[in-house]
Each structure stands twice: as structure tokens, then as C-alpha cells.
Amino acid sequence: VAPTIPVCEVPSSAMTGTVVQLSCKETEGSPPSQYQWYKNGVALLEKTGTGSARAANITYTMNKKSGTLMFNTVTKNDTGEYFCEASNGIGLSQKCSVKRMQV
């Protein structure tokens, strides 16, 4: 079953230095969807602890299975427009509407 449009939860504002979690979920897809977060239209890297992700000084953790994007300490650099995409290899991937987070 192809995924439906996911529900994204993005706080509209956050205080610098706080922990912020963005979530993304859709329930129709079978097999279960994988989730990819985007910031300002660019796919976010999944932090693996090695290589490019660490070099880019990434301050978040993205879980493609649960759809969460967790910032341990948000900074002004994290301000932007976020959306997520659900895909499970069946049918078209689905995106939620873009939401702006201001830090």
C-alpha cells in the first residue's frame, strides 16, 4: 500500500539551546514508510557518527524509521523551512506541507 500524506509536527518557534523534536507520521503505508526530513528543500543527512555527517557539525539526530528529527541544542542556524517525505517503495512518496521553524 502506498503511503498517505504524512502529518508533520514542527514547532513554529524554539529557544536557542533547547531540545526540539520534529515528528512525521503516516499510518496507511504497508510496508511501513521510511521518513526523510528536508530543510529549505535540501535532504538532511542521517547522522551515523562517521564521515560527512560529523564533518558537517550536525546537531540533530534523524530517525528514518520513526520519522523523528531531534535537535539536542537548537541554534539560530537551525531556523528554516522543514518538511518530511514518507516513502515505502510503493507508489509515489508523499510530502507534508512545509512549516517554518524560527529559532
> What digits encode the pLDDT tens for the residues 75-99?
999 999 999 999 999 999 999 999 9
Write out pLDDT tens, residues 47-71: 655 555 555 667 789 999 999 999 9
- Per-residue model confidence (pLDDT) at position 54: 53
Classify residue 99: in a domain, yes or no: no
According to DSSP, residue 41 is labeled T
- Per-residue model confidence (pLDDT) at position 46: 74
Domain that holds residue 38: 7-92
Which pTM was predicted?
0.89
Q: What average pLDDT does the chain have? A: 91
CATH for 82: 2.60.40.10
Domains in the chain: how many in total? Answer: 1
Location of C-alpha cell 510530502: 95
Classify residue 65: in a domain, yes or no: yes
In whole angstroms, what is the distance from residue 44 CA to residue 61 CA? 10
